[in-house]
Structure 1
């Protein structure tokens, strides 16, 4: 079990590195600006991968970025197949990662609470 977990984690890590490189160097879609891939989760059978990403863009731009990523997913998947030695290249599902946004919001609340104590 732990051997299987470490393999799927290694595959997820490699997908994360490869996708970051591909998006930066190969994807020409103007909707996809600067994004950061924060995590990748691969199913046990490698059929699907959740790609978590974040960006500093507005909510409206995030919708366009998500559309651009969905549009580019077939291209990215085919590029992954040439870069990775896997029998099955997973379907890519892009999910906006709100954790950084939430962290900034909480940090602001804490700063405000501390500021109001004085």
Structure 2
């Protein structure tokens, strides 16, 4: 058991610090609010991980810093937010429609 503690001392200290932060954050909060805040933080962290892993994958394999996939994340986030906030408007369908039409129009110029 002592060898386990010696090998994983940094990990154990990090877990204890995270537990202390969680306990401090939960002070004065209702249980439902804490769970919602925790899940929202995990969702934002997951999206940040997706963007960061895309950057590192493209930069690591191609040695080129390509920021194009960030634009796709931004378009998807904007469309998702718009659908949630105003689901009944026709204007929301114009952006995906414009993207599809421009894709077909540029298909002749840049064939795959």
TM-score clears 0.5: no
Q: Which has the higher contact order (CA 8 A, sep 6+)?
A: 1
Q: Which structure is higher in helix share? A: 2
Q: Which structure is higher in strand share? A: 1
What TM-score, normalized by structure 1, do the two folds share? 0.27
Q: Which has the larger radius of gyration?
A: 2
